[in-house]
Chains A and B, each alone.
Chain A
Amino acid sequence: MNSQFPELVPRLESYATIKTWRERHGRYRMQGSRCKKCNEIWFPSRDALICPKCQSREFIPYECARTGEVLTVQHEIMGYPAMGYGELSPRKIVMIKLDDGVTIISEVVDCAAEEVKPGTKVKMAFRKHKREENGCWMYGYKFVLNK
């Protein structure tokens, strides 16, 4: 900690900065893959992997729908927060069915706990995730209410 980074920076088990850079498209824009052969959508991206449905290896980038509906919510009551996320506790962690059918896990922010329940409409927002090993903030998708 110092005047530039006043809060605790968890450093244990940090990933290399290069990894967070490699994965920026998925984290920034929820970019997955669409199989060029069978047209199936995959999130997270399967770029350079194999399509489980048709075994093709040809994909094009696919940006998931940015709106959806909460399937289920966990109001975090485990008794302790994940290391480095204490100031966000208690978090509202959710499974979301996006409007294009993709299901993801994320967090709903900027609202009261009682506003988040199954069926709540949400939209993607760009928020801080955690510190990189070099101390910089890493950003990515979270969700807010879609009123």
Chain B
Amino acid sequence: MQKPNFKKVVLASAAVSGPERSVLGLGYRQFIMKTVLEALDKAKLTVKDVEVGSISYNERNITEGALGCVMADALGMVPIPFVSISQACAGGAICSDIIWNYLVSGRYKIGIVLGLNKPDNFDFRDAMGPIGNYCDYDFMLGFTHENYGHLRSEWYKQKYNYTDSVAAKWAWQCHWYARRNPMALANSGPMPTDEQLNDPGPAGYRARTATGRNMASCLVFVTEDVAEKLKIEPTYFNVSYAHRPVYIGNHFGYTGDERFAPYDMAEQPAIKIAAEEAYKIAGITADKIDIAQVHDLSSYDGMMALEWLGIVPPGQGGKFTAEGHTSIEGKCPTNTDGGAIAFAHSSAGGDFSSKIYENWLQLTGKAGERQVKNPKVTVAQAYGTHHSLDVVGILKK
């Protein structure tokens, strides 16, 4: 495969906020400051060095508009361009794609990508819960994002003949990583028992499924020559994204594009489309991936992601998990930050960016007890609004 001849973009540094479910005493502008300054400081940069910025946020918990203007002002960065994106939970990848393009074009050399999720800013139950993909009808029926995720999981299990024991195994592995990640919510306490993880009732469902948290994230991207001047060990970044029809019924045999027609809700062709482009730009193939961070709001979503990233064949994600290949010694250590179960569903604030952060720690040897041996190529996948948006980012040495 011919690798396109783009300029290289380097992730100079990254930071995420601490493991708090809620930060009641701070507004969203104050909340993000520490994370931005930490990331810039790690790269030996200041706010005045930044030439372009973008922020991914969720308009359901930060209802003020014009976040680009607000953040440029709050950070003392006016008059630089600052783009705001509120496009589903994986919006951090779209912000990253915008900054990537600015840097590749040569127009700017230093850009930041911010992510912000602050559900304590708005009524979470009403704002986040009962809004489905397709608000025209599904909202009126009271269907939530959790209903979509759960239905997709049930279909996946049914199609490939799995039981919740594979989800329990996935969850257990995430807890194992989380106990070794000081930034994870579940970074202490005893590991959950098999009985807890396999409970067929609500308690078991919650034990195997994402929680939520406040999240601020910051990725600092620079061109290769700037990285050299800053004496930064380069980790090269590329990203791509693709869309799928919004109405979830149209995830079955969609005829609007031949790349979707053969598939259903247990298959994720938009991940494949995004991955193929990201791999092409990065000059890698799926078999070169050493670590994967995937979006596992339900454990089965994580398994599907491994399949459509090309790491395992379709339908084999559950088997791969059950055989322990997502562990630190496995064929593809996966969700080494603890995944959404422990690192949480942080929505537009970090569902993509926090995965890039973890891969950056792994590539630069800063992952502590959960450090994978000598990784060179990593992938981060996230989705938004139930695969209406699928994003794939590559970070490699």
Instruction: Choose one: A72, A84, A97; the contact of B151 (CB below 8 Å).
Output: A72
Q: Is A74 an interface residue (CB 8 A)?
A: yes
* Contact of B154 with A72 in the complex, beta carbons under 8 Å: yes
Most buried by A among B142, B148, B252: B142
Number of interface residues of B (CB under 8 A): 45
Q: Is A124 an interface residue (CB 8 A)?
A: no
Q: Smallest CB-CB separation from A50: which chain B residue?
A: B256
* Contact of A82 with B205 in the complex, beta carbons under 8 Å: no
Q: In the docked arrangement, what's the CA distance between A51 and B245, Å? A: 12
Name the distance in Å between A57's Cβ and chain B's nearest Cβ. Answer: 14
Can you pick out 29 interface pairs between chain A and chain B where the beta carbons lie within 8 Å of each other?
A: A12-B126, A12-B127, A13-B126, A23-B136, A44-B247, A52-B245, A52-B255, A53-B255, A53-B256, A71-B252, A72-B154, A72-B155, A79-B202, A82-B143, A83-B126, A83-B129, A88-B142, A93-B143, A93-B151, A94-B151, A97-B252, A102-B249, A105-B141, A105-B143, A105-B151, A107-B141, A129-B140, A130-B141, A138-B140
**Chain B residues, Cβ within 8 Å of A126:** none
Instruction: Choose one: A43, A74, A130; the contact of B147 (CB below 8 Å).
Output: A74
Interface of B is mostly: loop
**Chain A residues, Cβ within 8 Å of B10:** none
**Chain B residues, Cβ within 8 Å of A129:** 140-142
Q: Is B150 an interface residue (CB 8 A)?
A: yes
Ranked nearest first, the 9 interchain pairs of A and B with the lowest CB-CB distance are: A52-B256, A79-B202, A85-B142, A103-B252, A103-B249, A12-B126, A129-B140, A72-B155, A82-B130
**Chain A residues, Cβ within 8 Å of B126:** 10, 12-13, 83
* Contact of B140 with A130 in the complex, beta carbons under 8 Å: yes
Q: Is A77 an interface residue (CB 8 A)?
A: yes
Q: In the docked arrangement, what's the CA distance between A94 and B150, Å? A: 10
Instruction: Choose one: A12, A40, A101; the contact of B123 (CB below 8 Å).
Output: A12
Known: A23-B136, A72-B154. A83 touches B205 (CB 8 A): no
Query: What total count of A-B pairs have CB within 8 Å?
Result: 120
* Contact of A83 with B154 in the complex, beta carbons under 8 Å: no
Restricting to B152-174, which residues have a CB under 8 Å from any CB of A? 154-155, 158
Q: Is B137 an interface residue (CB 8 A)?
A: yes
**Chain A residues, Cβ within 8 Å of B247:** 43-44
Instruction: Choose one: A44, A97, A106; the contact of B136 (CB below 8 Å).
Output: A44
Q: Is B9 an interface residue (CB 8 A)?
A: no
Q: Is B265 an interface residue (CB 8 A)?
A: yes
Name the distance in Å between A60's Cβ and chain B's nearest Cβ. Answer: 18
Restricting to B238-257, which residues have a CB under 8 Å from any CB of A? 245, 247-257
Known: A44-B247, A53-B256, A105-B249. A83 touches B158 (CB 8 A): no
- Per-position 1/0 for A5-45, Cβ under 8 A of B: 00000101101000010010011000000000000100110
Instruction: Choose one: A15, A44, A73, A97; the contact of B134 (CB below 8 Å).
Output: A44
Q: Is A78 an interface residue (CB 8 A)?
A: yes
Most buried by A among B131, B143, B205: B143
Q: Is A65 an interface residue (CB 8 A)?
A: no
Q: Smallest CB-CB separation from B138: which chain A residue?
A: A105
* Contact of A83 with B252 in the complex, beta carbons under 8 Å: no
- Per-position 1/0 for A78-104, Cβ under 8 A of B: 111011110010010111010001111
**Chain A residues, Cβ within 8 Å of B206:** 78-79
